[in-house]
Amino acid sequence: METQLSARERNTLLELGDRGAGGNFDQMALSKLFVLGLVEVRSGDRRLILTTEGRQVYSQMVAVRRGASRDGRSSRSQ
């Protein structure tokens, strides 16, 4: 799934996963993440959240980012 995402979409997903719903997110990237079913609006409080699949993709991206950091590469250069 991550390979289907552009750099902007990956960065938006990482930002949402790292910081939560508060933020100034790229609207075009969010649109694609909605279409892919990676984010949704929680009905109770109308907050933007990662779906179950979105959390899985986020976890994979974080694992890759941590591995890249150990290798000495930039964490967001993926």
Q: What is the CATH number of the domain that holds 53?
A: 1.10.10
* 77 falls within a domain: no
Higher pLDDT, 18 or 24: 18
Helices (H), the chain: 7-19, 27-35, 52-70
Closest CA to 1 of 51, 43, 71, 66: 51
Average pLDDT over residues 23-48: 92
Q: What is the pLDDT of residues 36-70, one digit of tens each?
A: 999 999 999 999 999 999 999 999 999 988 887 77
For residues 53 and 37, the answer to whether their CB atoms sit within 8 Å is yes
pLDDT reported for residue 75 = 47
Give this prediction's pTM: 0.78
pLDDT reported for residue 74 = 53
CA angle 27, 19, 16 (to 5 degrees): 35
* 78 falls within a domain: no
* 75 falls within a domain: no
- The domain total for the chain is 1
Range of the domain at 11: 2-70
pLDDT reported for residue 39 = 96
